Structure 1
């Protein structure tokens, strides 16, 4: 662990998916401010350019459509081409499908499950050999409070996060012997573009109660997880607004 308290990630290289906005951008910002070089991965080239311009030379853009299987498979190789190695991988990219299952679009279900579950598994599969060879690494996956509570207004989304919760906890047990820590962050509702798909009445209720988190608050917890002594793994952090009522 780096003992520099002002730049605890100094010298490390991180990659964050879905990094052009929301939790991904906040996570990338926190890591840059902690001294890391960060590869921001996103398919939105324009938003990615704006994000990296804001964060400065320590932020490296990687335009990648993770839902394209061939592009997805190049993630590690392209990160290594940009930055030389990978110490931290934050699998953050995700989609949301809410509402009654009977009203859901099957194509939207496929797309969400592919990104929220399959892509995360493939990305982690992609980066693990590099970390195993080096004998060190951190993997954090953006999960959700929905992974711990069968949220009735989002059965498809919640199911994807339950799957990811199981994936994180099983892979963690396979790779800790290699010096690799795997954990997840499970926030309640966060003010991001994903909330645009929330039922209108639920969103208004949450806003009125002040029961929403800021993306920066989630990023602060991600940084906390990454900066613990190597002998400690924060397996999963469930965080929610104090006023949020399940």
Structure 2
């Protein structure tokens, strides 16, 4: 990947762990400066020390509109510009609706849906002014089909998919590309609450994959010719299908 993103500034939300951290590493390897947007201040500080000067920490609470309002100014102050924005942060809740906690649903929907809308809204004026940009959203295979064991999560990702498709058409005239990465189950902290026997069985069966695969997809999307838009990439573990 070395050098493919040289000279570019990429901001990634949910950057301190899981898919976000893998994408940070992938973009750094490809030569980009990367702004790590996350709430976990201690992790951000440690990662910045580990990853070097091109990894730029920015603490933002994505569930707080006032904090989100400081995100773009913080990016511009620390990095000077923004070429690509990866709206990656998200949460997961599965299970039967009848047994669910609507307050927990609200918290997940705030992060999975509203924070995606708000953060993208925040960066669009800068990209429109520059006449170029890339926006990539971490969606899910659950955004392409109704998954019966996770209906509220599925609903959140269907909302994201609809937003991506409509926004792409709105901003194409500004030379801004909008696309989504829709993975199946990935080995991240989001599956940490799975029963251990289920997790071990899924790994052994090839039903989970490493988040570095998502990072490679992100770099692929960001390095296409400006005449090409990658609208959706669905990426699944080898033996997983629904």
Q: TM-score range by the shorter chain?
A: over 0.9
Counterpart of 1:154 (choices 150, 154, 157) is 150
Q: Which whole-Å CA distance do the structure 1 matches of 2:149 and 2:196 have between them?
A: 11
1:206 aligns with 2:213: no
Give unmatched runs, 5+ long, in structure 2. Answer: none
1:191 aligns with 2:182: no
Counterpart of 2:44 (choices 40, 44, 48) is 48
Cα separation, partners in 2 of 1:153 and 1:201, compared to 1, 3 Å: farther
1:103 aligns with 2:99: yes
| CA positional deviation for 1:202 | 5.1
Cα separation, partners in 2 of 1:162 and 1:202, compared to 1, 3 Å: farther
8 A Cα contact 1:96 1:157, kept in partner: yes
Paired residues for 1:7-156 under 5 Å: 7-156=3-152
* 1:42-91 Cα deviation digits (max 9, x unpaired): 00111112222221110000011111111012111111111111001000
1:237 aligns with 2:207: no
TM superposition score normalised by structure 1: 0.95
TM superposition score normalised by structure 2: 0.96
| CA positional deviation for 1:160 | 0.2
Give unmatched runs, 5+ long, in structure 1. Answer: none
| CA positional deviation for 1:198 | 4.2
| CA positional deviation for 1:154 | 0.5
Q: Which whole-Å CA distance do the structure 2 matches of 1:25 and 1:161 have between them?
A: 21
Q: Which whole-Å CA distance do the structure 2 matches of 1:202 and 1:153 have between them?
A: 14
Cα separation, partners in 2 of 1:19 and 1:37, compared to 1, 3 Å: same
2:192 match: secondary structure: helix
Q: Which whole-Å CA distance do the structure 2 matches of 1:198 and 1:51 have between them?
A: 27
1:223 aligns with 2:219: yes
Q: Which runs of 4+ in 1 moved over 6 A?
A: none
Cα separation, partners in 2 of 1:94 and 1:47, compared to 1, 3 Å: same
2:237 match: secondary structure: coil
Q: Which whole-Å CA distance do the structure 2 matches of 1:197 and 1:162 have between them?
A: 23
| CA positional deviation for 1:7 | 0.4
1:132 match: secondary structure: helix
Q: Show the counterpart of 1:173.
A: 169
**Aligned pairs, how many?**
242
